[in-house]
A and B are shown apart, each in its own frame.
Chain A
């Protein structure tokens, strides 16, 4: 049994490695807001997800099945975990798992486990393979792109988009190709990892800016914090970034939340070209891995999301602090191998 005033929240995305999931940042933001009044339950796919071993953040972690196993298997496992922990809410943090979580959200709600997610139509509308339709429908600027199902089409696509161009997986990963041979090689790599289609996207030159946002599902933008990437890894991930003050970016996030009636966290990945045009290159349907920066600069989006899920009336944030810098780093945690064995063998720790 747990005290009634302590929230129990399940969190996925504990893979805090060089292409990090947002789970640890979400957990950190929630700990900041709730302190000892929250129990965080990790939901992990693999035994080497670093978050599993971060005892100061997570009270308990359980293994869950991969998204490919389907919604029914996921639901069964979550109900089993609920029986052991008494979950009040789950915050899924991976693109690839959202479809399953959206499907089972009504069944979770029936068990009094809350989520705060977009619906399947909204999720599909911002899919990176549908960005042309999204841009045409809602009046946003997106870079030209082509969905590819075979590498041979790269020749024609390269002529159309020009080089360099980005080759992207449908869920994750983006790599720059300088010519057709390189593009074909990357196509095969990404297709093997993430499946088809693979997306070839025109490379827009400019400043890379991301906006972390939160919509209430009624068309209101609760929060938006823009961040300029200062250090980018070879996987295109921000390893350092700074909050910036730009009303146009916040307006863009507001248009997105309004037009899609977006419910939950989201991230707009934007290129601002030299003429000041804002191109949306990707829309992630969840909090970004750098979401703790938003909390540290005055807008704790994960905490606001939990409050909305619990039925509280949450008013839009009015300000945040520009000039807050995050610098990610590597740190070796040392644990006894028995803990790894415990999680691997029994699916919980």
Chain B
């Protein structure tokens, strides 16, 4: 699933949905992942990068990723 094209993000982790006026704060890791999603990297490419940078098992990352997607969907930040 892709981030909506018009979602604005900043390096500090501020997220703004211009369609709804909703805004959110993300921590540094989440802001980095959002930036990668905006650059049109695939899910696999992003996950590979995370596995290389952090001490996390692939199955744990998959679970966290699914949870992340649910959060983004609930926040109305993903394309349908």
Interface residues of chain A, those whose CB is within 8 Å of chain B, are 207, 209, 228, 230, 241-242, 244-246, 322-323
Residues of B within 8 A of A323 (CB): 8, 16, 18
What residues on B are CB-neighbors of A228 within 8 Å? 20-21
Q: Are B8 and A245 in contact (CB under 8 A)?
A: no
B60 within 8 A of A: no
Closest CB-CB distance, B22 to chain A, in whole Å?
A: 8
Residues on the B chain within 8 Å of A209, using CB: 21
A244 near B8 with CB under 8 A, answer no
Report Cα–Cα, A241/B22, bound state, in Å. 11
Q: B6 at interface (Cβ–Cβ under 8 A)?
A: yes
| A209 to B6 CA separation, bound complex (whole angstroms) | 19
Residue of A nearest to B18 (CB): A322
Using Cβ atoms and an 8 Å threshold, which residues of chain B touch A230? 21
For the complex formed, measure the closest distance between the CB of A79 and the CB atoms of chain B, giving whole angstroms: 45
Q: Which residues, 18 to 72 on B, are CB-close (under 8 Å) to A?
A: 18-21, 23
B57 to chain A, nearest CB (A): 38
Q: In the complex, which residues of chain B have a beta carbon less than 8 angstroms from the beta carbon of A241?
A: 21
Q: Which 5 residue pairs across A and B have the least CB separation, nearest first?
A: A228-B21, A322-B18, A245-B18, A244-B21, A242-B21
Residue in B closest to A272 when the chains form the complex, CB atoms: B20
CB distance from A289 to the nearest CB of B (A): 18
| CB<8 Å pairs between A and B, sample of 23 | A207-B20, A207-B21, A209-B21, A228-B20, A228-B21, A230-B21, A241-B21, A242-B21, A242-B23, A244-B18, A244-B19, A244-B20, A244-B21, A245-B6, A245-B18, A245-B19, A246-B19, A246-B20, A322-B6, A322-B18, A323-B8, A323-B16, A323-B18
Contacts of A322 in B (CB 8 A): 6, 18
| Bound CA span A246–B21, Å | 10
Residue of B nearest to A248 (CB): B19
In the bound complex, residues from chain A placing their C-beta under 8 Å from that of B16 are 323
Who on chain B is nearest to A246 by CB?
B19
- Please name the residue on chain B nearest to A247 by beta carbon: B19
A207 to B8, CA, bound (A): 20
Given contacts A245-B6, A323-B8, list 19 more A-B pairs with CB under 8 A.
Answer: A207-B20, A209-B21, A228-B20, A228-B21, A230-B21, A241-B21, A242-B21, A242-B23, A244-B18, A244-B19, A244-B20, A244-B21, A245-B18, A245-B19, A246-B19, A322-B6, A322-B18, A323-B16, A323-B18
> What are the residues of chain B within 8 A of A244 when measuring CB–CB?
18-21
The residue on B at minimum CB distance from A245 is: B18
Q: Give Cα A209 to B19, complex, Å.
A: 11
Bound: A323/B23 CA distance, A = 10
Q: Which residue of A lies closest to B23 (CB)?
A: A242
What is the minimal beta-carbon distance from A242 to any residue of chain B, in angstroms? Answer: 5
C-alpha gap A192/B21 in the complex (Å): 37
Between B16, B20, B21, the greatest number of chain A beta carbons within 10 A of the residue's beta carbon is seen for B21
CA distance A242 to B8 in the complex (A): 14
Q: Which residues of B contact A242 (CB under 8 A)?
A: 21, 23
Using Cβ atoms and an 8 Å threshold, which residues of chain A touch B8?
Answer: 323
Query: How many Å from the CB of A200 to the closest CB on chain B?
Result: 29
* Complex CA–CA separation, A230 to B22 (angstroms): 9
Distance of B23 from chain A, by nearest CB (Å)? 8
Q: CA separation between A322 and B22, bound complex, in Å?
A: 12
